[in-house]
Amino acid sequence: MLPSWPPAFVALATLAVTLWKIQVPSFWRDEGATQAATQRSFADLIAMLGHVDVVHGAYYVLMWLEVRLAGHGELALRLPSALAMAAAAALITVTGRRLVSRRAGLAAGLTFAALPAVSWFAQDARPFALETAAGAAASYFLVRLAEDDGRRRWVCLYAASLAAAGLANVFGLLLIPAHAATLAAWRGQRPWQAVGRRWLLAVTAAGLALLPLIVAAWAQRAQVGWLRPPGVAAALATGRLVGSSGLILGVLVLIGTGLAQAVLGRRLGTAWPVRLPALCLPWLGLPPLILFVMSQVQPAYTFRYIVFCVPAAALLIGTGLAAAGRVTAAAGLVLIVLLTLPFQLGERGPAGHADNIRRLDQIVARYARPGDAVIYPQGAGSRSFAAAYPYGLAGLHDVMLGESAARSDTIAGTDAPAQVVRSRLAGVRRVWVIESDVPPPGRPAELRGLPFRLVREWQVSVSWLRLYQYRT
């Protein structure tokens, strides 16, 4: 077979996995934000980015073009993410082959395809899969840059991939300190003066290119004001980069087996060359750690901002499998697939992304009457529910809306003053109320003191949908 078959095979396998039931999970609230951004004119989109979500600006522009070619359905919006994860799998494979062996690269790529986080973000119309692919590309180009003593084309490609990671999500630039640690660990193996200088040149070029974005993102930092300083639970949640606790335990056993096999066979240096852990351990550990520490002062920590570290875990696991031998590697991959299968199936249910907006819209579409209103007691951010699908919530009169999204240059518009909302409710006979991530909610403040009675309620995944009717 041709030497290039493993990356192509792994990319196709990953694409097949991520396309499996990609249309089944309902859009969730953040995908509703993507819908809201791409449903406006291009001029309105650019105007919006001057006020909110500039960190996702490049992604929104890409998706604005995408939906005009393929539409607003689940497959159309999520396909770029699935393709990005397939590209990341191929890059992981070539990186593993370059640093260790063809078997290690193949095992790493297939492991990546099996990890639940990969499928979740491949089936998500948000930029984090693209950031993961850019991070995998940057790490591969770092390897080539180091091997070829900083040859110009690898410097340019490395700078471009870092810039792409930052455009997808500015926190992708946390890969830079991880790569600095990698180069420091590699330094004893080669003359590094030229490599270090050219790496620094590439980092500087990427940083300067992204400087306007970084400044604008800092000015809009209030957007993540809902985040709180992370604690122990957030630290433990980084385990999702691999999977469940059971999967992590199984992976540790497999890696330990591979290490033991390599030591007993006196081939640790070839099965686990120092360059691989020097690349993967900083990549896996430093970005979460830096973001965690930063967030104690300026909260910005959430799991999706560190998803670009998943390829490092896959490379370590794949190398451990390969070091244990061909039969053990194959058995280990089967075990990983079996351990991840329940999570893969859960992710592909209608509520696989927690929110089941599609079901909410189906209920509203079935029971709504002309003139029905809707209120979002949790604020304007919940209005992205209405943008997810063109029926149901989108057809109700939003009595809480102040300025529209287009007029206010925001994702979901602004809320009207309380007295305006109450005056609008005076002419309404029935009101739908949507709240999420709360225990069974009571009567919303907007309806207190008004003659509305609760006539029906539905619990749909993490959301409560309630229908109130004017009491005559």
Q: Are 348 and 25 in contact (CB under 8 A)?
A: yes
C-alpha 133/C-alpha 62 separation (Å) is 15
Same domain, 379 and 304: no
Query: What is the domain range of residue 322?
Result: 5-23+73-347
Average pLDDT over residues 283-296: 96
Q: Are strands 373-375 and 397-398 parallel, antiparallel or unpaired?
A: parallel
Q: Do 385 and 310 belong together in one domain?
A: no
- Determine contact, residues 243/307, Cβ cutoff 8 Å: no
Shared domain for 433 and 406, answered yes or no, is yes
The rounded distance, in Å, linking the Cα atoms of 29 and 34 is 9
Residue 98 predicted with pLDDT over 80: yes
- DSSP label of 416: P
Instruction: Report how many domains make up the chain.
Output: 2
pLDDT digits (tens, 9 = 90+) for 290-346: 999 999 999 999 999 999 999 999 999 999 999 888 898 899 999 999 999 999 999
Do 341 and 430 lie in one domain? The reply is no
My answer on whether 337 and 228 are in the same domain is yes
DSSP string computed for 380-415: GGGGHHHHHSSSGGGGSEETTB-S-HHHHTSSS--B
pLDDT band at 237 (very low <50, low <70, confident <90, very high): confident
* pLDDT tens-digit map of 411-459: 999 999 999 999 999 999 999 999 999 998 899 999 999 999 999 999 9
State how far the Cα of 373 lies from the Cα of 361, in Å rounded to an integer. Answer: 14
Q: Who's near 44: CB < 8 A, 6+ residues apart? A: 406, 409
Residue 315: what pLDDT?
96
CB 148 within 8 A of CB 271: no
pLDDT band, residue 2 (cuts 50/70/90): very low
| pLDDT cut 70: percent of the chain above it | 97
* pLDDT at site 251: 83
Is 14 among the domain residues? yes
Q: Torsions phi, psi of 463, nearest 5?
A: -115, 150
Rounded mean pLDDT of the chain? Answer: 93
CA 41/CA 37 separation, integer angstroms: 9
* pLDDT tens column, 351-408: 999 999 999 999 999 999 999 999 999 988 899 999 999 999 999 999 999 999 989 9
What pLDDT, in 10s, does the model give residues 137-180? 999 999 999 987 668 899 999 999 999 999 999 999 999 999 99
pLDDT at 253: 85
251 and 364 housed in the same domain: no
pTM: 0.95
Domain shared by 247 and 383, yes or no: no
Asked if the structure places residue 68 within a domain, the reply is no
Burial environment of residue 219 by CB neighbours within 10 A (0 to 12, 13 to 18, 19 or more): exposed
pLDDT, position 1: 37
Give the span between the Cα atoms of 174 and 384, in whole angstroms: 29
Q: Note whether residue 41 is domain-resident.
A: no
**Degrees, nearest 5: CA angle 403-405-409:** 95
Q: Reduced to 3 states, what is the DSSP secondary structure of residue 453?
A: strand
Pairing outcome for strands 373-375 and 430-436: parallel
Are 284 and 417 contained in the same domain? no
Q: Is the pLDDT of residue 70 over 60?
A: yes
d(Cα 382, Cα 400) in Å, to the nearest integer?
11
For residue 392, the Cα-to-chain-centroid distance in whole angstroms is 27
If asked whether residues 241 and 124 sit together in one domain, one would say yes
352 inside domain: no
Asked whether the predicted pLDDT for residue 106 surpasses 50, the reply is yes
Is 70 exceeded by the pLDDT of residue 191? no
> Do residues 272 and 409 both lie within one domain?
no
Q: Are residues 318 and 226 in the same domain?
A: yes
Last residue of a domain, one of 347, 373, 398: 347
**Continuous segment of H or E residues that includes residue 463:** strand 463-470
pLDDT at 419: 95
Q: Are residues 367 and 327 in the same domain?
A: no
